[in-house]
Amino acid sequence: MSVMHGLAMQLLRIPVACDEGRAIESLPSYIIRLAQQHVIPAGTLITRLTEAHPISGTASAKAQSAPLACLTRPNRTTADVVQMVALATGTEPIVLRRMTYLFLEQALGRTAGAYAKRLRWCPACLKADVDSGQPAYLRLLWSLSAVEACEIHGLRLQERCTHCGHIPRGYAQWTCLSRCQKCKKQHEDRSHSKVLPSIQQFGLDLADLVDAISRRADSFPRGGVTAGVKKVFDAVWEAEQEIRLWNKLSRDQWIKLALQDEPISLTAARQLSSCLDVPLPLLLEGHVGTAVFKFVLENPPPALARTSAKRVDPRKLQIAFEAILAESHEPPLSLKAIATTLGVAQNTLRNHFPRKSALVVANWSAYRTSRPERYKNEAIAAARSLLSTWHDTQTELLTKKSFLRVLLNRSSLPKNLLRAVIEFVLTEQSAARLILHELDAETRNPLANRAPFA
């Protein structure tokens, strides 16, 4: 094997780190490890491959300019790179295709937001790879943006170094996937990377999809999801239980999914899979099975019993209403509180006793309007009382902070109001001390502030 040109013609064949199951290796990870083996940057490797195995000019430019993390997406660029790597290494193309999402190209429409734009990793998984004696590698599952955390270690997936904050450049030189490109330190999990165990963050349905992809020999069929939805829709419609589907998704959404010819997005497929409780790989195949709508055919929902309106005795209601009004309440009761006590609706009281209800509403509105002023007066009184007895009851120095803390313990008034009242009371005390000082000075020397005799 000669230098760069010969290297691009025939590369060393390295084994795939994991070629089956949820932890299958991604194509970008394999390209990075391939470049490491030949001690060249991953970008140089892709460039030499396009030179040695010519493809169309546009496809060649896309293969060299597309971010390395995007080489798992189900598009033509990924297919071209798979073909070039297979020719250069002698690896079976089917093995490399399973390391991407090319099998979804026909079944799903393009959804750019479903795939991560940068390389991501779980530091605990990479450390486990190194400890087990095998090379660290990136999982295919990590390239889906909906997967936010590792289901094994419960850590949030990272896309930058936790030591220096460097974001890896896919086509640059790599020494090891478990270490930072810039500072060369081992990727570590920090406390902020811990996440709560959440199915949405782990993307367990997507993990099942990746597991199915790693064992497939061909692509998922076109229109499989639509065919499955039609089966469910027809069976439920015939049983006249379509209202049960409307409770999961709106009627327009079901009809659109059942009638459209274009492939749906990955997000829509996941939503359908959750609503129908069908594994995502089976839904993509169109095999929804009878269990999906079995509950509709065998267990129709019971008819709702018609509830009659509660009858009210106006005479008894009047006696109870007047008894509550005769009592003294501080603060006054609202119409809602009275209606709850009597077990009726507010409109019932308004319809039977319009004048008394209007009086209750007016009293409650007046109370609510005067509440800010009452709170202010109450806060001023409490602050003045505390200030006058501070040196007798408190041992710490009088400051605004200590004053506020003691005042909060003594009352349940809002903190912002107490802050404003403290400023007012302390300013008031300072002004009073100044006046007393001036009066005291004038008392000691009554002629000091008088004009001299002419």
Per-residue pLDDT of 414-442, as tens digits, reads: 778 888 888 888 887 776 666 656 666 66
Annotated domain spans of the chain: 4-199, 221-298, 314-439
Q: What is the pLDDT of residue 264?
A: 82
Residue carrying structure tokens 């209601």: 317
Say if residue 10 is exposed, middle or buried (CB neighbours under 10 Å; 0-12, 13-18, 19+): middle
Q: Is the pLDDT of residue 231 over 70?
A: yes
Specify the 3-state DSSP secondary structure of 431.
helix
Percentage of the chain modeled with pLDDT above 70 = 79
The residue with greater pLDDT, 377 or 260, is 377
71 Cβ contact list (under 8 Å, min separation 6): 27, 28, 31, 77, 78, 81, 100
- Asked if the bond preceding 452 is cis, omega within 30° of 0, the reply is no
Taking the C-alpha atoms of 142, 143, 149 and 155 in order, what is their torsion angle to the nearest 10 degrees?
60
Beta-bridge partner residues of 158 = 121
CA 30 and chain centroid, separation: 31
Give the Cα separation of 272 and 292 in Å (integer): 11
Confidence of residue 404 (pLDDT cuts 50, 70, 90): confident
Most confident of 44-53, 167-176, 208-217: 208-217
Q: How many CA atoms lie within 13 A of 349 on its CB side?
A: 26
239 Cβ contact list (under 8 Å, min separation 6): 293, 296, 297, 300
Give the Cα separation of 33 and 346 in Å (integer): 73
For every residue of 1-58, DSSP letters joined together read --SHHHHHHS------S--SSTTPBPHHHHHHHHHHHTTS-HHHHHHHHHHHS---HH
CA 86 and chain centroid, separation: 39
Say if residue 256 is exposed, middle or buried (CB neighbours under 10 Å; 0-12, 13-18, 19+): middle
The residue with greater pLDDT, 181 or 259, is 181
CA 414 and chain centroid, separation: 32
For every residue of 109-140, DSSP letters joined together read ---GGGB-SS--B-HHHHHHHHHTTS----BG
- Helices 42-52 + 76-89 axis angle, to 10: 80
What's the average model confidence in pLDDT over 276-299? 68
Q: Is the pLDDT of residue 160 over 90?
A: no
Q: Is the pLDDT of residue 211 over 90?
A: yes
- Token pair belonging to 416: 């912002």
The per-residue pLDDT of the chain, averaged, comes to: 80
Q: What is the pLDDT of residue 183?
A: 86
Cβ proximity of 116 and 68 under 8 Å = no
Q: What is the pLDDT of residue 8?
A: 42
The residue with greater pLDDT, 106 or 368, is 106
Please report, as a single letter, which amino acid is at residue 364.
Answer: W
Q: What is the pLDDT of residue 375?
A: 80
Closest listed residue to residue 119, CA positions, set 150, 153, 143, 90: 143
Q: Is the pLDDT of residue 450 over 80?
A: no
Q: What is the pLDDT of residue 215?
A: 92
Give the Cα separation of 38 and 66 in Å (integer): 22
pLDDT tens for residues 375-385? 888 888 888 88
Q: What is the pLDDT of residue 142?
A: 93
pLDDT tens for residues 125-141? 999 999 998 889 999 99
- Token pair belonging to 351: 């319809």
Closest listed residue to residue 115, CA positions, set 267, 280, 223: 267
The residue with greater pLDDT, 65 or 178, is 178
Q: What is the pLDDT of residue 337?
A: 86
Confidence of residue 301 (pLDDT cuts 50, 70, 90): very low
CA 378 and chain centroid, separation: 44
pLDDT tens for residues 27-48? 999 999 999 988 899 888 888 8
Give the Cα separation of 432 and 438 in Å (integer): 10
Closest listed residue to residue 184, CA positions, set 208, 215, 163: 163
Specify the 3-state DSSP secondary structure of 266.
helix
Give the Cα separation of 267 and 114 in Å (integer): 7
Q: What is the pLDDT of residue 95?
A: 94
Q: What is the pLDDT of residue 101?
A: 93
Confidence of residue 292 (pLDDT cuts 50, 70, 90): low
Please report, as a single letter, which amino acid is at residue 264.
Answer: I
Residue carrying structure tokens 């003294």: 328
